[in-house]
Structure 1
Amino acid sequence: MAVTDYSGVKESSPRPVSVRDRLVPPMRGGALWGWLGPLFVAVLGGVLRFHNLGHPKAVIFDETYYAKDAYSLIRWLAERTYIQDADKAILAGNTDVFQKCAAVDQCASYVVHPPLGKWMIGVGEWLFGMNPFGWRIAAAVIGTLSILILARVARRMTRSTLLGCFAGLLLALDGLHFVLSRTALLDIFLMFWVLAGFACLVVDRDKARGRLVDWYETAPLTPEGPWLGIRPWRLAAGLCLGAACAVKWSGVFFFVFFIMSWLWDAGARKALGLRSPYTGWITKDVPTGLVAAVAVPALTYVASWTGWFAGDKGWGREWQQATADGPLLFVVRSIGAWVRYHLQVLGFHADLTSSHPYQSEPWSWPLLLRPVAFHYEGKQDVCGAKDCSEAVLGVGTPVIWYGALLALIALIAWYVATRDWRAGAVLLGYAAGWLPWFYFAVKDDRTMFLFYAVPMVPFMVLALTLCAGLLIGPAGASPTRRTVGAAAVGSFALLALINLWWLHPILTAEVIPYTEWKARMLLDKRWI
């Protein structure tokens, strides 16, 4: 029987009862297991990351900058210069390593990254002291939480708790994520906020579509559709991506997620058969989306600089000159000094071309051709052999990284064939973390390192997870296919576990014979 059209919605038959299932597919498995499974995997990853976290008792790689800057922020709200051999003094228990200057601005340290990541490191130092455990614990906490977030977002994307746990397990077993979760560098915090922002937008997609279906089923219909409200999950995404920029400016690459989210909105309105879906999208979704994509990240980023604005010890602060001119000019001069500081930093990053023995080009990152040796110390007669090695190598788990290459190629084919939003979202996240670096490599010949790729890792894992779902098949697939697919997916997870176990000694500074360390250098000179 035909339905009379009073609303602007094109209908010639009764409303399909499956519209909710099409727009918001039901989640398989109970809510309890949906939390217990990911939590279990996150705890497993946390145990790996927290075990012997204070070892090596050394300042490894760029911890020499961020550990001291973080401690300075906690004490003085700004980064200060420090004495020569400060690292040795700190490891000996002396934290009085910052220079004492006659004038405030003489002690200010010129730093080239925003402060949020260092504030997060500093919280650990405030709680547990200025020692290796204290400056690494924040990274371990954030690394563990990212496993939980990825497991939950993978579950939401696949509607499968099992696949969500598979994703969390792979992230827990990745070597690069593991090493950065045990090191006081900024990149693990960047990865966390990027992943959190992506997860918030995936949740917002479900919530917005649920509201759209509720309207469709109960309210008088209009050609454009309804306004879907404030959308707190989208605002949370803006906060997270603003926080990513407040850790490292490369977080701005991932603002492309908001374009992805707007396309999801337009697609949802079109899927309902609204007569004017794009008009509704432009008038009802885009304006509030701009608040989340522009205003919230901007406020978050500025808020991360509160210490610099509130104190008088930051680089380029010009405090005395600003305070002498009255409240209004104080604000104006402060903002001007802050902008000039940012222009200085922009120039630094554009001119960062100095050679480094562990630098690498972005094309080589997926192949793990040039890992970064965060720490190496040769020792004698302490490991059952004459020559011993203690190393921390920043490298991904090859089984996961090479498997992800195949999975990403499969996702490209899948997206071209089906336009599945999940494949598109994963490919976009991977591309946002990888492709912009080619511009800087070609234009500026910028110095870059493999660990810059860590924001790509969650999307590599999601690619593997989506392909695992394709192998296992839907619930209605034949038992043989599901059995064979599950066996293949389980075997891959087991290989990843074995691979991490094999690499574990050179990821955690375990003292082993030199011959065993050398055997783990899979690409020989490229890994040394």
Structure 2
Amino acid sequence: MNRPFHQRQDPIGWTALVALAFACLCAIRLTIPDKPFFDEVHYVPAARTVLDLSHPLNIEHPPLGKQLIALGMAIFGDNALGWRIMPAIFGVLAVIGGTRAMWFASGSAFASIACGILLLTGFPLLVEARIAMLDIFMAGFAMLALWMFAATIREPETARWRLAIVGVALGCAMASKWNAIPLAMMPGMIFLIFRIRSAGRRFLTSRRGAPIPGMTLAEAALWLGLLPLLVYAACYWPFFFYRDGSITPLGLIDLHERMLSLQEQLLKPHTYQSVWYQWVLDWRAIWYLYEPIGGAQRGVLMLGNPLTMIAGLPALAWCAWKGMFQRRWDMLAVAACYAVTLGLWVVAAKNVQFYYHYMLPSCFLLAALALALDDLRRSGRDWIAWAILAGSVLLFAHFWPILSAARLDDQMAFEYWMWLDSWR
């Protein structure tokens, strides 16, 4: 990745078009329903208490996502637009960040554009960008961090200001949802591993070699270790000012013990609960909404694109193989990011889990598919690459009515899209 590439091939214009398309799709029926639905019933009330600083709610999750929902409410009012405008903005950020990260990591305009299209048409990112939940904020900050980190390695002369953004974004991702913690450790681990490989016993003090020439391990630890932790802690500022239930800075330790115990408590079984291997196989969906609203039957289904979620699995294996045995570091990074973000849920002490926990891993699955399609194109099998991209778009259009709360024909209209009984 330290090799220069041709800036004239930078697909930034295409990135802007994909991001604009994503934003337009988010805007369609964004305020339907006009009442909180699914987990909005937890996060919208918590955002209200941030606005009036009355008392903490929903303390089992970090506070930044609820603060951002509150920011939208402060600007646009305590209504559907106010609840969902910030998730939509961060969904756009996730698309831009993921697409730009792919460009700087791979140097391939095709892989970058394909990644953007696959993220847009993959279903989970768009569905989460249209509801006031926390995962989209985590994804937006995480993709921003990966974009800046990949750009730093590609253009080390920009290292300090970019790594400052990486550190802030990683801290904000963790302060949005703890799911980001394994991913937040990756940039620092990458720097350490590659510096040991390039500098040997002098890795602690050397400024030479990969991944960022001219920077010591100590300085990297400042940007990638200390800064994210400070930003994470600063995001707890409302807890110091609540009228009821406020804490001192030292009380953050006790607060985190309470948060951890709430995360590990045994929950009642849920109709739509699932486990990680069902997510991988796109086996278990969630109906966020299915009821009459505004004189019509409407639904919002959380599911992965059946084509790309399955095609992404061999693509992921291909990336892992080429990364390990042919030193394709971009492919290895994508496979590793998928492994750590999904691996969290394999070992997590949480008895009730849901498909939306797969949203962040699915972004890396789709990135792996974009890299594999780029390899197919380079090998002369470009028709396969274009067919998969076209198929992803067509399936997205097919499922669009039940991704976006569109008007449906009748109460049983959902049957048209239920390819598997497990999606019901």
**TM-score computed with the length of structure 1 as normaliser:** 0.74
Q: Say if 2:243 is the partner of 1:313.
A: yes
Once residues 138 and 58 of structure 1 are traced to their aligned partners in structure 2, the CA distance between those partners, rounded to angstroms, is 17
Give the Å deviation of 1:253: 1.3
- Give the letter for the 1:519 counterpart: Y
- Aligned counterpart for 2:249 among listed residues 331, 335, 339: 335
Q: What is the CA deviation profile of residues 49-94 of structure 1, one whole-angstrom value per residue up to 9, with x for unaligned ones?
A: 1112101222111101111211221232x5x4xxxxxxxxxxxxxx
Give secondary structure in 1 for the equivalent of 2:273. Answer: coil
1:323 paired residue number: none
1:58 paired residue number: 35
Give secondary structure in 1 for the equivalent of 2:204. Answer: helix
Q: What is the CA deviation profile of residues 312-345 of structure 1, one whole-angstrom value per residue up to 9, with x for unaligned ones?
A: 4253x25xxxxxxxxxxxxxxx134332222111
Q: How does 1:75-114 map to 2 (within 5 A)?
A: 75-76=52-53, 80=55, 108-109=56-57, 111-114=59-62
Once residues 459 and 314 of structure 1 are traced to their aligned partners in structure 2, the CA distance between those partners, rounded to angstroms, is 41
1:447 paired residue number: 352
Once residues 48 and 436 of structure 1 are traced to their aligned partners in structure 2, the CA distance between those partners, rounded to angstroms, is 31
Larger radius of gyration: 1
Give the Å deviation of 1:234: 2.4
Give secondary structure in 2 for the equivalent of 1:447. Answer: coil
Q: What is the CA deviation profile of residues 385-437 of structure 1, one whole-angstrom value per residue up to 9, with x for unaligned ones?
A: xxxx4211111111121111121111122223212111110011101110121
Give the Å deviation of 1:288: 1.2
Aligned-residue Cα RMSD (Å) equals 2.1
Q: 1:351 to 1:490 in 2, by over 3 A?
A: same
Once residues 159 and 276 of structure 2 are traced to their aligned partners in structure 1, the CA distance between those partners, rounded to angstroms, is 39
Q: How does 1:14-25 map to 2 (within 5 A)?
A: 23-25=2-4
Once residues 297 and 286 of structure 1 are traced to their aligned partners in structure 2, the CA distance between those partners, rounded to angstroms, is 16
- Give the letter for the 2:204 counterpart: I
1:503 paired residue number: 399
Of residues 334-343 and 493-502 in structure 1, the stretch that sits farther from structure 2 once superposed is 334-343
Q: 1:448 to 1:24 in 2, by over 3 A?
A: same
- Aligned counterpart for 1:69 among listed residues 27, 36, 46: 46
Give the Å deviation of 1:462: 1.3
Q: 1:23 to 1:247 in 2, by over 3 A?
A: closer
Q: Say if 2:200 is the partner of 1:278.
A: yes
Give the Å deviation of 1:252: 1.1
Q: Say if 2:13 is the partner of 1:49.
A: no
Once residues 171 and 183 of structure 1 are traced to their aligned partners in structure 2, the CA distance between those partners, rounded to angstroms, is 17
Residue 308 of structure 1 contacts residue 314 of structure 1 at CA under 8 Å; is this kept in 2?
A: no
Q: 1:420 to 1:379 in 2, by over 3 A?
A: closer
Once residues 465 and 231 of structure 1 are traced to their aligned partners in structure 2, the CA distance between those partners, rounded to angstroms, is 29
1:512 paired residue number: 408
Residue 201 of structure 1 contacts residue 261 of structure 1 at CA under 8 Å; is this kept in 2?
A: no
Residue 114 of structure 1 contacts residue 247 of structure 1 at CA under 8 Å; is this kept in 2?
A: yes
- Aligned counterpart for 1:253 among listed residues 164, 172, 182: 182
- Aligned counterpart for 1:346 among listed residues 260, 266, 278: 260
2:278 paired residue number: 364
Structure 2 residue runs without a partner (length 5+): 207-215
Q: What is the CA deviation profile of residues 355-383 of structure 1, one whole-angstrom value per residue up to 9, with x for unaligned ones?
A: 11111111211112212211111589x66
Q: What is the CA deviation profile of residues 84-131 of structure 1, one whole-angstrom value per residue up to 9, with x for unaligned ones?
A: xxxxxxxxxxxxxxxxxxxxxxxx545211111111111111111111
Q: 1:50 to 1:266 in 2, by over 3 A?
A: farther
Q: Say if 2:149 is the partner of 1:172.
A: no
Once residues 249 and 180 of structure 1 are traced to their aligned partners in structure 2, the CA distance between those partners, rounded to angstroms, is 17
1:465 paired residue number: 370
Q: Say if 2:9 is the partner of 1:27.
A: no
Give secondary structure in 2 for the equivalent of 1:435. Answer: helix
Give the Å deviation of 1:28: 5.8
Once residues 199 and 262 of structure 1 are traced to their aligned partners in structure 2, the CA distance between those partners, rounded to angstroms, is 19
Once residues 446 and 194 of structure 1 are traced to their aligned partners in structure 2, the CA distance between those partners, rounded to angstroms, is 25
- Aligned counterpart for 2:95 among listed residues 140, 147, 159: 147
Structure 1 residue runs without a partner (length 5+): 1-21, 81-107, 212-228, 271-276, 319-333, 384-388, 474-480
**TM-score computed with the length of structure 2 as normaliser:** 0.91
Number of aligned positions between the proteins = 413
Q: 1:27 to 1:354 in 2, by over 3 A?
A: farther
Q: 1:314 to 1:395 in 2, by over 3 A?
A: farther
